Amino acid sequence: MSDNHPLIIETKNLTKLFPISGHAQLTACDNINLNLYRGMTLGIVGESGCGKSTFLRMLLQMETPTSGQILFNGEDIGKFSAKQRRAHHRRIQMVFQDPGEAFHPRMRVGEIVCEPLLNYKLLKRGQIPEKAEKLLELVELPAEYIRKYPHELSGGQRQRIGIARALALEPEVIICDEATSALDVSVQKTVIELLCRLQKDKNIAIGFVCHDIALVQSFSHRIAIMYLGCIIELMESIGMAEEAKHPYTRALLDSVFDLSMDFNKEIQIIKGETPSPMDRPPGCPFANRCTRCEEICLKEKPALREIAPAHRVACHLL
């Protein structure tokens, strides 16, 4: 993207099929081409079951792609040896929706944030207090919290601990999977501000998956909209409210609640159900719900094409 924001992750035609009974297959991700850049946030928006979590799991090597590639700093991670994979895991870390569930209830905060370093033998037990205090300082929590247990913390504090733990190995990429969805709106804001500050300080690439388009748009640099395993629109978040073109993205944006909205304007509800990923339509994945659907939409799947600089849309009418 630029010298300040070099490309760090590039996915090429990344596809994941899950075999179901007999010859049936579930297409979770269909030919996904997305890039992550250092110091920038890519927001990935889509409803439950659209394939965004499977996409993340492939980035984290928790799922093996059926086809396609993931390049990390230009290297194909699918070709890594076991030793290279272990080294690679340090470079990309995850922040979960409810980190409290990922923490051992009998471990104190100091051990929780330092556990990745202990696992990689980068820290001795006696060094935990000093290192844990530094990690807590990064996420703006007092040093004395290293002696607390997870159940003694609020949701926002637990999420800060999750971020501190993700930072322990000094990753180049952080993936946030619905990382603020379980938090109150006021706490969400402070956690997002923290992520933005850390990104600036450490030039980390962030992939932020969320179903709330308004939230993602507020701090991401670019947004990818996913539907039925496909990227249907990819654009910069600045100007998105005016410039988004795909009928599904437009429907998502039009349904965002805003105090300054025109309450007399009818909210466009997306009618119909998302097709099953086991029985995908041959044409546009959004065809059965799209008010602008034409004959070609039922027959041919639209390609994700550039319609303006840094703006791609998969729709036959554009």
Would you say 5 or 250 has its CB closer to ligand SF4?
Answer: 250
What kind and span of H or E run contains 296? helix 295-299
d(CA 51, CA 97) in angstroms, rounded, equals 16
Pairing of strands 205-210, 173-177: parallel
| CA–CA distances in Å: residue 56 to residues 8, 109, 179, 224 | 15, 26, 13, 13
Restricting to residues 285-304, which ones interact with ligand SF4 according to CB under 6 A?
A: 286-287, 290, 292-294, 297, 302
How does DSSP assign 224-236, residue by residue?
A: EEEETTEEEEEEE
Residue 305 in the binding site for ligand SF4 (CB under 6 A): no
Determine if 315 is a binding residue for ligand SF4 (CB under 6 A). Answer: yes
Token pair 């065809």 in the structure block, residue: 287
- Contacting range for ligand SF4; rule: CB under 6 A; set: 48-56, 79-87, 261-269, 310-318: 310-318
Half-sphere exposure of 236 (CA within 13 A, CB side): 7
Amino acid at residue number 282: P
Segment interacting with ligand SF4, rule: CB under 6 A, options 64-72, 195-203, 257-265, 283-291: 283-291
* Shortest distance, position 295 Cβ to ligand SF4, whole Å: 10
Nearest residue (CB) to ligand SF4, 32 versus 153? 32
Alpha-carbon span 166 to 83, nearest angstrom: 21
Q: Could you tell me which residues are beta bridge partners of residue 43?
A: 208, 223
E strands, 241-309, in order: 305-308
Q: What is the closest distance, in whole angstroms, from the C-beta atom of residue 92 to ligand SF4 in the complex?
A: 33
**Identity of the residue, 173 or 270, whose beta carbon is nearer to ligand SF4 in the bound complex:** 270
- Which residues within the stretch 242-261 sit at the binding site for ligand SF4 (CB under 6 A)? 246-247
- Residue 316 interacts with ligand SF4 (CB under 6 A): yes or no: yes
Among 195, 234, 284, 304, interactor with ligand SF4 by CB under 6 A: 284
CB nearer ligand SF4, residue 20 or residue 296: 296
* Positions in the binding site for ligand SF4 (CB under 6 A): 246-247, 284, 286-287, 290, 292-294, 297, 302, 315-317
